[in-house]
């Protein structure tokens, strides 16, 4: 930022300069000239103002005056700070989504507030009042929450329309995963239940959130489940609701290894849906493991197909994964050997077997693990003519898109912890 600086020269004249300050030091940018009287001083000061305006390429909020530059500030009063530009920009973005057709400004403001300042609904109300000049009462907040929930179907429709328009989404491929959202409470009910927590909050009730995204990580749909529901039982309700609601005929779902089960495979087949899910190769039979190992022969990037009860099993070998798996195995073996030397402090370890005569190293398991080093498996009902092995592997690796969406919700928007206790307000909170 430039300033006008006037100093007395050795000859007694007034020198007018344009300066700036850096690390509390004055740096002269431009010497305008020396004045011998008041008229010349005023003229040079006006030249300095014009030079600053030209150099800045924009006008000053408060026009500078030659005499008493701070005088005009006395007639102003500071009334606070407003996020006007950001608020208007987000409103324009929502119009691009088509959300203005909801005709619910309160809902839009409740969505905007945590983008700018994440926190609870009460915090959002306070933020909107202080920084937006928008006043909503707490009683109005909870009265509106049930009405907000009625907008879910319209919101999802608008989101899908944008996905098709902006991201060329054609329903051919979706990615599914689940996460847990905990409550600042110890009270359980039919929805809020203690269960396996991905946030390590095992003593606090939670809900499970199942999410669908496209190949770019754009959210397409979601479902809420009770907190102790097994995540493998969430896949089918999420997919079938999405298929039924959107009247989709052809769809491929990519899901994590936890979603694989004969029940899920049968349900997907009956719904005429394609799937790509992770496989637990450690649970393969010894014959299958030996066959995969012999055919892959540690060739980096090589894949093979085998027919199983879960569909085609695609096994892929990676040198990078092999090196990582080998390091982990060697650490676990070293730990197991150390624990066996001191049986009194024995702890659970992968390569320790317990028998009547005591503890010993589980050599058959070590041999099996060594065969599987670097091998990753994927189940699918897509034939090689419909989708190549390499494309199936690539699609599965894109599952990180769902995790990224969860991180945004949890970290950037602070969707949890939740402070609501009624089912309607919980569902409205997730929708927002």
- Determine the average pLDDT of the residues in 208-212: 95
pLDDT digits (tens, 9 = 90+) for 45-58: 999 988 988 888 77
Same domain, 7 and 50: yes
In a domain, 284, yes or no: no
For residue range 258-276, list pLDDT tens digits in order.
Answer: 888 889 999 998 888 999 9
In a domain, residue 96? The reply is yes
Q: How many CB atoms lie within 10 A of CB 43?
A: 15
Q: Average the pLDDT over 311-332 and give the result.
A: 95
d(CA 178, CA 402): 9
Whether the predicted pLDDT of 162 surpasses 90: yes
Mark whether 10 and 61 lie in a shared domain. Answer: yes
**Whole-number average pLDDT of the chain:** 89
In this prediction, residue 228 carries a pLDDT of 94
Is 89 among the domain residues?
Answer: yes
Question: Residue 315 and residue 296: Cα distance in Å, rounded?
Answer: 8
CB 122 within 8 A of CB 136: no
62 and 119 share a domain? no
Domain boundary among 150, 171, 198: 150
- What's residue 411's pLDDT? 92
Considering the domain architecture, whether residues 71 and 101 belong to the same structural domain is answered as no
Residue length of the chain: 432
Cα–Cα distance, 108 to 185 (Å, whole number): 28
At residue 267's C-alpha, the angle toward residues 262 and 272, to 5°, is 125
Tell me, yes or no, whether 128 lies in a domain.
yes
388 falls within a domain: no
Give me the helices (H) in 117-251, please: 121-132, 138-149, 152-167, 235-246
Q: Among 43, 75, 107, identify where a domain stops.
A: 75
Which of 49, 75, 101 is the C-terminal boundary of a domain? 75
Is 92 a domain residue?
yes
Domain hosting 124: range is 84-150
Same domain, 129 and 93: yes
Q: What is the mean pLDDT of residues 373-397?
A: 94
The model carries a pTM of: 0.78
Same domain flag for 20 and 58: yes
Asked if 88 and 139 sit in the same domain, the reply is yes
Q: State percent of the chain over pLDDT 90.
A: 62
How many domains would you assign to the chain? Answer: 3
Span 367-390, average pLDDT: 94
Where residue 353 falls among pLDDT bands split at 50, 70, 90? confident
């Amino acid at each position: 930022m430039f300033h006008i600086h006037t100093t007395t020269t050795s000859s007694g004249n007034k020198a007018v300069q344009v300066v700036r300050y850096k690390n509390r030091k004055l740096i002269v940018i431009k010497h305008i000239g020396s004045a011998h009287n008041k008229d010349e001083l005023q003229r040079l000061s006006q030249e300095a103002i014009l030079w600053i305006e030209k150099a800045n390429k924009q006008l000053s909020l408060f026009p500078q005056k030659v005499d008493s530059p701070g005088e005009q500030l006395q007639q102003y009063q500071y009334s606070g700070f407003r996020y006007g530009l950001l608020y208007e920009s987000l409103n324009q973005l929502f119009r691009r989504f088509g959300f203005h057709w909801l005709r619910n400004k309160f809902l839009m403001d409740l969505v905007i507030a945590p983008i700018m300042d994440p926190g609870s609904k009460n915090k959002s109300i306070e933020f909107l009042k202080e920084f937006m000049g928008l006043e909503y009462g707490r009683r109005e907040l909870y009265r509106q929450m049930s009405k907000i929930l009625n907008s879910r179907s319209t919101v999802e429709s608008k989101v899908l329309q944008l996905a098709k328009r902006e991201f060329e989404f054609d329903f051919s491929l979706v990615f599914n995963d689940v996460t847990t959202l905990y409550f600042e409470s110890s009270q359980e009910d039919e929805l809020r239940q203690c269960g396996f927590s991905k946030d390590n909050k095992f003593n606090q009730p939670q809900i499970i959130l199942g999410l669908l995204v496209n190949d770019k990580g754009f959210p397409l749909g979601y479902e809420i489940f009770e907190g102790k529901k097994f995540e493998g039982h969430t896949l089918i309700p999420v997919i079938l609701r999405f298929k039924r609601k959107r009247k989709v005929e052809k769809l491929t779902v990519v899901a994590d290894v936890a979603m694989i089960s004969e029940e899920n495979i049968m349900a997907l087949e009956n719904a005429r849906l394609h799937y790509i899910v992770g496989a637990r190769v450690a649970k393969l039979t010894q014959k299958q493991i030996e066959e995969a190992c012999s055919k892959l022969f540690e060739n980096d990037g090589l894949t093979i197909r085998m027919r199983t009860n879960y569909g085609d099993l695609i096994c892929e070998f990676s040198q990078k994964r092999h090196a990582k798996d080998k390091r982990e195995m060697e650490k676990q073996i070293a730990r197991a050997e150390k624990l066996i030397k001191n049986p009194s402090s024995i702890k659970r370890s992968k390569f320790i077997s317990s028998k009547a005569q005591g503890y010993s190293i589980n050599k058959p398991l070590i041999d099996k693990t060594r065969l599987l080093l670097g091998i990753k498996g994927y189940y699918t009902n897509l034939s090689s003519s419909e989708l190549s092995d390499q494309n199936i592997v690539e699609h599965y690796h894109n599952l990180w898109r769902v995790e990224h969406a969860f991180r945004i919700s949890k970290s950037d928007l602070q969707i949890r912890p939740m402070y609501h206790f009624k089912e309607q307000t919980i569902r409205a909170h997730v929708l927002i």
